[in-house]
Amino acid sequence: MTLLAEGTPVIVDCPESNDFKLRAEDLDAAITPKTKWLIFNSPSNPTGGAYSSHDELKALTDVLLKHSHVYVMTDDMYEHLVYDGFEYVTPAQVEPRLYDRTLTVNGVSKAYAMTGWRIGYAGGPKDLIKAMAKVQSQSTSNPCSISQAAAVEALNGDQSFLQERNAVFKQRRNLVVDMLNEAEGISCITPEGAFYVYPSCAGCIGKTTPPNSPNGGKVIESDEDFVTYLLESEGVACVHGEAFGLSPHFRISYATSTEALTEACKRIQRACAALQGEAKAA
């Protein structure tokens, strides 16, 4: 999207050692006089990482305050999908002085499970929103009025189901994290939000697929090889970490039934146990 807008995307690492979160010093070091925007997403797709406290986010908003030419686009899509008493905060809430250069984007796809209705929305400086409306009106025209009405109902209606649904998501998250950590060569931290886990498969890299598997005798060289092995040998589909720029990991969405997740994790455990030889990292 940045390239399409003739910008230069700069990826700043959000390392596992920091629970997949951006560090203030790394953000500061990445900003140049040419920087236009920080694209910020918490809770995150693909890692589920979320900025859990006012202080944690304040470290980042302090950096942005210093660089007055940088706007922030905050993707708050998973704001309602948080667990363990987590208190959600968005950057302009932590630092109101950023309000005039914040574009907040959100949608009804995740919290309200309305992906197919195709409604996203944004709040930001008037001139920016006006310009966005101009571009949209001449490209996609508009989202259909039926979807708009449905989204208004979702946002204004009774929100109590969110808590009940989150309790189920939390159980599923814990189930998946526990079962993945029991799989040989896999380690998985517990994310605070969204509905994804982002386990490391470092302990499988360098091992060889079993001779009786569809692509038997192949060395697992990367997270892409690992997810291909899961797909071919057990019919389990995951997204490899390289697609998100952070290896050696893979992403699993737990927005599906407990039965399907249990079965998938059993198959992952079986596939990992069947790998032969030593991991490179070992």
Ligand X SMILES: Cc1ncc(COP(=O)(O)O)c(C=O)c1O
Residue 253 is a binding residue for ligand X (CB under 6 A): no
> Measured from the CB atom, is 4 or 160 closer to ligand X?
4
> Measured from the CB atom, is 107 or 185 closer to ligand X?
107
Residue in 210, 193, 200, 184 with CA at minimum distance from that of residue 249: 200
- Residue 58 CA: distances (Å) to CA of 62, 148, 161, 197, 248: 6, 34, 31, 25, 30
> Measured from the CB atom, is 77 or 265 closer to ligand X?
77
Residue 61 is a binding residue for ligand X (CB under 6 A): no
- Residue 165 CA: distances (Å) to CA of 150, 156, 170, 260, 270: 20, 18, 9, 17, 30
Residue 225 is a binding residue for ligand X (CB under 6 A): no
How many alpha carbons lie under 13 Å from residue 243 in its C-beta half-sphere? 13
Q: How far apart are CA 9 and CA 27, in angstroms?
A: 14
Per-position x/- string for 28-57, each x denoting binding to ligand X as judged by CB under 6 A, each - no binding: -------------x---x------------
Residue 191 is a binding residue for ligand X (CB under 6 A): no
Burial class of residue 87 in the structure, from the number of CB atoms within 10 Å of its CB (0-12 exposed, 13-18 middle, 19+ buried): exposed
List the one residue from 57, 64, 77, 261 that touches ligand X (CB under 6 A).
77
List the one residue from 107, 191, 199, 203 that touches ligand X (CB under 6 A).
107
Task: Please list every residue from 117 through 176 that binds ligand X, using CB under 6 A.
Answer: 120
List the one residue from 35, 93, 109, 262 that touches ligand X (CB under 6 A).
109
Burial class of residue 206 in the structure, from the number of CB atoms within 10 Å of its CB (0-12 exposed, 13-18 middle, 19+ buried): middle
Kindly indicate which of the ranges 84-92, 107-115, 204-212, 236-244 contains the residues binding ligand X, using the contact rule CB under 6 A: 107-115
Q: What is the DSSP letter of 187?
A: B
Interaction site with ligand X (CB under 6 A): 41, 45, 75, 77, 107, 109, 115, 120
